Amino acid sequence: MNITRLSILRPVGISMIVAFFVVLGVYSYYRIGVELLPALNTPYVTVTVKYPGASAESVEQEIIKPVEDAVSSVSNVKTITSVASYERGRVMMELNFDADADMAAIEATKKVEAIKNKLPDEADAPVVVKRDINAKPIMELAVMSQHGLGDTYSMTENVFQDVLQQAGGVSEIELHGGRDKEVAVEVDRDKLAAYKLTLPKIASAVRNENQLLPSGPIYTESTKSDVRVVAEYSKAADIEKVRIQNSRGELIPLTAVATVREQDARQQRYGRLNGEPAINVLIYKNSDANVVETAGNILKAVEKLRRDYPDYQFIVVSNDADYVDTALHNTLGTLVEGLITTGLVLFLFLRGWRSTAAVMIAIPTSLISTFFVMYLAGFTFNMMSLMGMILCVGILVDDSIVVLENIIRYLKNGAAPVEAAEKGRTEIGMAAIAITLCDAAVFMPIAFMEGMTGQFFRQFGLTIVFAGAFSLFVSFTLTPMLASRFFKNGYHVDNRFLWQFMDKMEEWAVRLYRQALFWSLGHRKKLLLTILAVFAGVMALIPLGAVGTEFMPQTDESGFTINIQCPVRASSEEPNKVALQRWVE
């Protein structure tokens, strides 16, 4: 145990080594991400296609089936689930658990790009996202203004959405509510008949006049210029200048048979906040992005929008990061409470502040140093890793308490402080190593379990192993060094009332334990049968249904969602009427 002797004889050197790891741990603490649960490799890829104005049946025939045929050849696809709804089609691919979701998303993108020409011209470009099939928005915003729903929706879609999309960690944004802007060409039927025109001719003329055509390059001796014909409509008045040729060869102005005006489209999406019309913005995060950091980036983007567009209101309706922050702060608070309680118990049972101080210095040192290894391993502060650290408090106490008890035994026998610290540590060195290896043998396999369970418990198991390794190092170095300094004048028994009371409590506990031990050794069959009966009774609670089973415990996030399902072929106004009725009541 030369490292123990070196630590005792060179206290400044070992203090600097320990301080080095502590500083790295503090540095890592402020750079480790924060999540509710560990990052998971979710083997799901989603292809979403918007088809404005299309019914669910049209979306199924013209969007879902071509996309399904294309992505069915993607590697490692386990199941394909499709949802066709009004104006939107979504194809969700579940991959084999060991598949690389990033590569699958790239492959799916190539497949979808290859069949893009088979999709309707009116459909938007397909969006391929690697995201959990059960993913939900991490934040919901409401955009409100006095400019009307059409203008507000246009600004949200063309300006605000781009700003929010640039926030780190954001994968997808969905807009609900508002109205689209459109240019309406209202044809008079009587005038149409009088001029011998038809609706297809008017539609063809309007479409043909809206062109952007490349005409090729023009070369000079030193330059090259690209020429193109720009004949696109920039405002509604440009459409009024269109002329249509009738069956007699006459050019008829469009204004002679129709009225052209810019207006809000028929409302087919509804969004409200506290009963007032609003644009609802649902924001999703990347599967490998942490909730708190992404939510912080979104809030910064929202503050920028508020400064740049004071005429619009940007209201945060829900934010999952608040619940995550609360849950993790409670878990971290439990860790601190555990440390304080441990210190109090040690103070009572170790009979003084010196032993307690040595142990209470060793525990935070091991925990803080663990942050550095967690940072290198790419871990985050989440319920599983913090749970592992809470469990570590009891494990970390063991090494230091065993060391101090043995050192104090040597001090009571008259050994010098330096000799007692070295011999006390050396004598139980292999036992401490064995304890740490036993902990690693228990928790290391948990970290390498397969499937979703293995991903959940990986950080839990490895955090305990990392902390146990640092605890072993500290018990070999820092604890004996502190003991040799704190007890430099030897160990003296304190005869104050508190310690006399604790001595009596200890004698009573030892006497009670001795009686229970003697009874157990004298009634071995009764003891064994009692333990087996209790074990069988406990195990029977699960098949009897007294104790339920589930993958994750239920949580209360202080919110609920109401889904309204209307009859098939009902227009979007029907659920709006139901929702509005419930709101009024």
Query: CA–CA separation, 421 vs 488, rounded Å?
Result: 10
Residue 584 has pLDDT above 50, yes or no: no
Of the pLDDT bands very low, low, confident and very high (cuts 50, 70, 90), residue 419 is confident
Residue 543 pLDDT grade (very low, low, confident, very high; cuts 50, 70, 90): confident
Q: Residues 6 or more apart from 92 whose CB is under 8 A from it?
A: 44, 45, 46, 47, 80, 81, 82, 83, 133
Q: How confident is the model at residue 582 (pLDDT cuts 50, 70, 90)?
A: low
- Domain-embedded: residue 307: no
The CATH number of residue 188's host domain is 3.30.2090.10
| Of residues 392 and 294, more confidently modeled | 294
Confidence check: pLDDT of 35 > 70? yes
* 506 found inside a domain: no
Residues 62 and 121 sit within 8 Å (Cβ to Cβ) = no
- Contact, 105 vs 129, CB < 8 A? yes
Average pLDDT over residues 316-338: 79
Confidence of residue 536 (pLDDT cuts 50, 70, 90): very high
Which CATH number belongs to the domain containing residue 85 in this structure?
Answer: 3.30.70.1430
**Residues 20 and 88 occupy one common structural domain:** no
Backbone angles phi, psi at 59, to 5 degrees: -65, -40
Residue 574 lies in a domain: no
- pLDDT mean over 125-135: 72
* Banded model confidence at residue 552, pLDDT cuts 50, 70, 90: low
Residue 217: beta bridge partners?
Answer: 226
Would you state the pLDDT for residue 507?
A: 85
Rounded to an integer, what distance in angstroms lies between the CA atom of residue 142 and that of residue 176?
Answer: 10
The DSSP bridge pattern shows strands 279-285 and 170-176 to be antiparallel
Please check whether residue 428 lies inside any domain of the structure.
yes
The pLDDT of residue 306 is: 92
Place of tokens 């050019």: 251
- Tokens 């199941």 sit at which residue? 79
- The tens digit of pLDDT for each residue in 170-186 reads 888 888 888 877 888 88
Which residues form the domain of 242? 182-264
Q: How many CB atoms lie within 10 A of CB 451?
A: 9
Write out the E strands in 177-305: 181-187, 211-219, 224-231, 243-245, 251-253, 258-264, 272-273, 276-277, 279-285
pLDDT at 452 over 80: no
Question: Which of these three, 264, 283, 307, is where a domain ends?
Answer: 264
Are residues 56 and 106 both part of a single domain?
yes
DSSP string for residues in 146-170:
SS-HHHHHHHIIIIIHHHHHTSTTE
Mean predicted confidence (pLDDT) in 219-225: 77
Looking at residue 256, what is its pLDDT? 85
The pLDDT of residue 143? 92
The CA–CA distances, whole Å, from 206 to 119, 199, 201, 210, 233 equal 23, 11, 9, 7, 10
Q: Which residue is associated with the tokens 């209307």?
A: 566
Residues 414 and 458 in one domain: yes
Q: Do 360 and 487 belong to one domain?
A: yes
Mean pLDDT of 424-435: 84
CB 380 within 8 A of CB 290: yes
Residue 133, pLDDT score: 47
Residue 339: inside a domain: no
- Residue 75 maps to a domain: yes
Over residues 101-119, mean pLDDT: 86
In angstroms, rounded to a whole number, what is the distance separating the alpha carbons of residues 542 and 10?
Answer: 57
- Domain shared by 17 and 115, yes or no: no
What is the rounded average pLDDT of the residues 380-397? Answer: 80
244 shares a domain with 202: yes
- Are 80 and 189 in a shared domain? no
Q: What's the confidence (pLDDT) of residue 288?
A: 66
- For residue 38, tell me if it sits in a domain: no
Paired strand residues for 46: 92, 129
Give the number of C-alpha atoms closer than 13 A to the C-alpha of residue 386, restricted to the C-beta side.
Answer: 22
User: Average of pLDDT values for 526-551?
Assistant: 86
DSSP state of 561: -
123 and 191 fall within a common domain: no
Least confident of 348-362, 363-377, 447-461: 348-362
Closest CA to 50 of 95, 100, 15, 84: 84
Q: Are residues 87 and 50 in the same domain?
A: yes
Give the residue among 392, 338, 403 at the shortest CA–CA distance from 366. 392
pLDDT-based confidence at residue 551 (cuts at 50, 70, 90): low
Most confident of 221-225, 305-309, 388-392: 305-309
Please tell me the pTM assigned to this model.
Answer: 0.67
> What does the pLDDT read at residue 451?
72
User: Do the strands 127-130 and 44-50 form a parallel or antiparallel pair, or are they unpaired?
Assistant: antiparallel
For residues 416 and 481, state if they share a domain. yes
From CA 564, how far away is CA 299, in angstroms rounded? 30
Mean pLDDT of 498-520: 85
User: For residue 299, what pLDDT is reported?
Assistant: 92
Domain boundary among 230, 248, 264: 264
pLDDT interval class at 53 (50, 70, 90):
confident
Q: Of 278-287, 375-384, 426-435, 573-582, which gets the smallest average pLDDT?
A: 573-582
Q: What is the pLDDT of residue 134?
A: 47
408 and 463, same domain (yes or no): yes
Whether residues 238 and 200 share a domain: the answer is: yes
Total structural domains in the chain?
3
Q: Indicate the residue among 264, 283, 310 that finishes a domain.
A: 264
CA 490 to CA 412: how far, in whole Å? 8
Please check whether residue 319 lies inside any domain of the structure: no
